[in-house]
Structure 1
Amino acid sequence: MNFVLRGALAASAALAVAACGQQEPDAVGSAQDAASVPVGQTSATVMGSNMVSAYVPNAAMGDMYEIQAADIALERSQNAQIRELAQMIKADHTAASAAMKPLAAQAAPDVEIPAELDQRRQGLIDNLRSASAEAFDRTWIDQQVAAHQEALTLHRGFSDNTDAPALAEHARTVTPKIEAHLQGAERLQSAL
């Protein structure tokens, strides 16, 4: 486990350092977003899908990130398909977040639901906000594909957890919507 996590962190650090040497803000943001992918997947696979104490904050932050990213897309994108997907993502992740809170409080009262994004996800939001108008749609859709792949890994992995059956049921319930978001994002990614 430590080896996998260290490898993902090393890859992320290397990409971030490489990005710092580039001049274009969109290129730096893209490299930072790409560096985020292995860290998120590793976290979802290794910790989040196995421990209630990791699943709850990761699922909550995933929903929080998706809601904020959708708001930014609704504000900045002129693409009707992106706006439609962003609206669906916002509605579904808002509902998922509301549904999870009482389940988490009951199953894991000692696990705090975060009130703000972690540094990695805040970096993704910052990159969305700073993306040029020309690069925004591509940046948003690339982030959505990666974030929904990570979310699927997290929720599918936790769906058979026997320590918190109500949370495992929640993971099973949200998975089809996350799959639909991912399929929509992948279609748009191919079209851009």
Structure 2
Amino acid sequence: MNRGFYMAAAAVAALSLAACGNGQAEKSAENASAEAGGQTPAVNAAQDAVGAAVGSVSASTLGANTLEGYVSNAAEGDMYEIEAAKIASNKAKSADVKAFAKMIQTDHTTAMNEMKPLVTAAGQTPPAKLDERRQGMLDNLNAAPADQFDKVFLTQQVAAHEEALTLHRGYADNGENAGLKAHAAKVAPKIEAHLTRARELAQKTGAAN
């Protein structure tokens, strides 16, 4: 999906959400927009929702069934998680969320390091940077107002780990490379545990509503 369509879809969704808001919500969004460089939290949330949908499809199709798709999605997924956790370690309000971020950073760093030699052995080159979708999620996370940061982070984490779980379980079942299939099967339970914790924290913060 190209950037123009992604942004357009997100904008349409955001406008639909905004139409339901009252005057006070609009005023708050305008203030947040100025702080975030002209983009409101509603637009950012809509972009994240569109990104989550795109990621889910990607994980269940090319990612779960092709070597190249799995390598790129798994590697970028780990990179996104590590960077998001670093941001949350500094900006999160809740001690529980900070602890969760630390766990995310540790576990995904381990997974990334374990995957690197397997990728090389498979004759693949991992991506050097994030794609626009995941970089956009990090940008939106950085732009989240302080009083909404934990909610934004956990909403992203639930979506990202749902995507990752689909990816790794799929490749463990359908993949063509034995080493990476074993890696996918090994990390899937850890990702499932992350997802469970993210959902628990999201319930506490209202991110699941």
What residue in structure 1 maps to residue 120 of structure 2?
Answer: 105
Q: Is 1:155 aligned with 2:168? A: yes
Pair 1:157–1:63, CA change in 2 (3 A): same
Are 2:165 and 2:192, in contact at CA under 8 Å, matched by a contact in 1? yes
Q: Contact (CA 8 Å) 1:158, 1:168: kept in 2 or not?
A: yes
Over the aligned positions, Cα root-mean-square deviation in angstroms equals: 2.1
TM-score of the aligned structures, taking structure 1 as reference length:
0.89
Give the structure 2 partner of residue 14 of structure 1: 9
Matches for 1:1-192 after TM superposition, within 5 Å: 13-19=8-14, 24=29, 25-107=40-122, 109=123, 111-161=124-174, 163-192=176-205
Equivalent pairs, count = 184
Distance 1:141 1:162 in 2: 30
Q: What residue ranges of structure 1 are gaps of 5+ in the alignment?
A: none
- Quote the Cα distance in structure 2 between the aligned partners of 1:11 and 1:125: 16
- Counterpart of 2:147, as a letter, is E
Q: What is the percentage of aligned positions where both structures have the same residue? A: 49
Deviation of 1:98 (Å): 0.3
Larger Rg: 2
Alpha-carbon offset, residue 14 of structure 1: 2.6
Q: Are the equivalent residues in 2 in contact too, given 1:12–1:36 (CA < 8 A)?
A: no
Q: Is the 8 A contact 1:12 1:38 kept in 2?
A: no
Please state how far the C-alpha of 1:38 moved relative to its aligned partner: 1.0
1:121 to partner: Cα distance: 0.2
Contiguous gaps of at least 5 residues in structure 2 = 19-25, 30-39
